[in-house]
Homo-oligomer: A and B are copies of this chain.
Amino acid sequence: MSVKQRSRTRRRVPLSRQRVLRTAIKLADEGGIESLSMRNVAQELGVYPMALYNHFANKDDLLDAMVDVMYEEIDVTAGGSDWKGAMRQQANSIREVLARHRWALGVIQSRVHPGPGNMRYHDMVIRALRQAGFSVAMAVHAFTLLDSFIFGFALQEQTLPFESTDQVDKLAIEILSQFPADDYPYLAESVAEHVGKAGYDFASEFDFGLDLILAGLDSLRA
* A contact residues vs B (CB 8 Å cutoff): 105-106, 108-114, 116, 119-120, 122-124, 126-127, 130, 136-137, 139-141, 144-145, 147-153, 155-156, 158-159, 161, 175, 179, 183-187, 189-190, 193-195, 205, 208-209, 212-213, 215-217, 220
List the 7 closest A-B pairs by CB distance, nearest first.
Answer: A152-B152, A148-B152, A123-B184, A145-B209, A148-B153, A112-B161, A126-B186
Residues of B within 8 A of A130 (CB): 186, 189
A129 to chain B, nearest CB (A): 9
Contact status B144-A114, CB under 8 Å: no
The answer for the CA separation of A144 and B201 in the assembled complex, in Å, is 13
Question: Which single member of B185, B209, B216 contacts A148 (CB below 8 Å)?
Answer: B209
Contact of A155 among B120, B155, B190 (CB under 8 A): B155
Contacts of A195 in B (CB 8 A): 140
Minimum Cβ distance to chain B for residue A127 (Å)? 4
Q: How many copies does the complex hold?
A: 2
A123 B186 Cβ-Cβ under 8 A = yes
Q: Which residues in B have their C-beta under 8 angstroms from that of A159?
A: 108-109, 111-112
Q: Which residues of B contact A205 (CB under 8 A)?
A: 140-141, 144-145
User: Known contacts A152-B149, A179-B116, A179-B119: does B194 contact A140 (CB below 8 Å)?
Assistant: yes
- How far does the alpha carbon of A190 sit from the alpha carbon of B209 in the complex, in Å? 26
Bound CA span A195–B122, Å: 14
Min CB distance, A111 to chain B, in Å?
A: 6
Q: Which residues in B have their C-beta under 8 angstroms from that of A187?
A: 119, 122-123, 126
Task: Provide the bound-state CA to CA distance between A69 and B150, in Å.
Answer: 25
Residues of B within 8 A of A108 (CB): 155, 159
In the complex, residue of chain B having the shortest beta-carbon distance to the beta carbon of A105: B109
